A = this chain, B = another copy of it.
Amino acid sequence: MTIRDATDADWPAIWPFFREIVTARETYTYDPEMTEEQARALWMSPSNSPLARTTVAVDADGTVLGSANMYPNRPGPGAHVASASFMVDGRARGQGVGRALCEDMIAWARQSRFRSIQFNAVVETNEPAVHLWQSLGFRIAGTVPEAFDHPRLGYVGLHVMYRPLP
């Protein structure tokens, strides 16, 4: 598996699992009704910052297994904190794709001189993701109760997670 910068040509391979993940409504606070064009803009150009970057994880055949994007979390006095989003194709789960994408993101954030990384809205019932971030050095700074409306589990919490970059 290789992690590389995404190009416009990767979007058609990202869109099917992006759509599946967003319409499932289990892990992302995105509008499930968004159009493909809105999704492409959101994922491929996640910020006005010149630092913003979108990546893909590809296997030896060049098949896209997952994608990430990364950017300063906030402007001005918050611009020293990076953030990111990750999606893995359901057919490629359990192969370490999310871990590889996140390790690459951490390296990017360090090289880009960010002081820390913050994830703003990690669904508490998405335990594989919570445990993966924890294994990569992220801590739960706090949890907003009932901030996510899960289709099966009802109102569940959203974690704010962060990782210093010493």
A residues with a Cβ closer than 8 A to B are 22, 25, 28-32, 73-81, 115-116, 118, 120-121, 140-150, 155, 158, 160, 162, 164
Contact = CB atoms under 8 A, between A and B. Distances in A.
Copies of this chain, tallied across the complex: 2
A141 to B, nearest CB: 4
Nearest to A73: B147
Nearest to A159: B142
B74 A121 contact: yes
A147 B29 contact: no
Given A29-B77, A81-B144, A142-B142, 19 more contacts: A28-B76, A28-B77, A29-B75, A29-B76, A29-B78, A31-B76, A77-B148, A77-B149, A78-B121, A78-B149, A80-B149, A115-B155, A120-B120, A141-B142, A141-B143, A141-B144, A142-B143, A145-B162, A145-B164
